[in-house]
Structure 1
Amino acid sequence: MVSRFWTKVFSFGKAEAITIFPFIFLRRRGLKTDQVLLNHERIHLLQALELLILPFYIWYLVEFTIRFIQFRDFHKAYRNISFEREAYANESNFNYLKSKKLWSFCKYL
């Protein structure tokens, strides 16, 4: 789903895509063909399911806040969230979602 509004609101305009369960919002239409980006966002969908959705978003915000205090830099904080680290590490592995173990993001804490 293409929505500049949601990507702007939830990422301060910094993200190309954002996952708000069960939707993936893209900043622009051309991203619909970016399979790596879509795989990254699908990893977030599975992470959200593993944590029963709402706790995923609470954990995400708490961890982002801790990382932002730690690094004092938006991008570094974002890139060091365990959910993002797992997604970036596996976004090019198109079989990852089939083999992903429950709560795999924990090894990226």
Structure 2
Amino acid sequence: MLIIVNKYLIGRHFAGIVLWPFIVIKDSTLKEDEIFINHEKIHLRQQVELLVVPFYILYLSEYLIRWVQYRNSDKAYRNISFEREAYCNEHDLSYLKNRKTWSFIKYL
């Protein structure tokens, strides 16, 4: 896992983004935030499972579907299955050790 600090790459609403194989963060202090890093590592695993490019296609497609459903960008983002899995499990620092492949599906 490679962490890159770049305050300009990320929009103002996000503290970080995973662009496989990198975790890009706005602020270097986030490197020490175990929960935040665990959330991003969950996204790394999701991307690997879906061979990276299909992950981005599914992520964007689901965001658009959720946006139509909720008419609210934050609510759409929070209800993407990939995000729901990451948010629900970010506090469990051993989650990735026990996580089954394609676990994001149960969050659809």
Q: Scaled by the length of structure 2, what TM-score is found? A: 0.94
Choose between structure 1 and 2: higher helix proportion. 1
Cα deviation 1:61-98 (Å, max 9, x = unaligned): 00000001111111100000000000000001011111
Q: What is the alpha-carbon root mean square deviation over aligned residues? A: 0.7
Counterparts of 1:67 and 1:7, CA distance in 2: 22
Cα deviation for residue 35 of structure 1 reads: 0.6
Counterparts of 1:14 and 1:68, CA distance in 2: 16
* Residue ranges of structure 1 left out of the alignment (5+ in a row): none
Cα deviation 1:27-65 (Å, max 9, x = unaligned): 111111111000000000000000011000000000000
Counterparts of 1:31 and 1:45, CA distance in 2: 17
Q: Scaled by the length of structure 1, what TM-score is found? A: 0.94
Q: Which residue of 2 aligns with 1:47?
A: 46
* Residue ranges of structure 2 left out of the alignment (5+ in a row): none
Counterparts of 2:9 and 2:53, CA distance in 1: 17
- Count the aligned residue pairs: 105
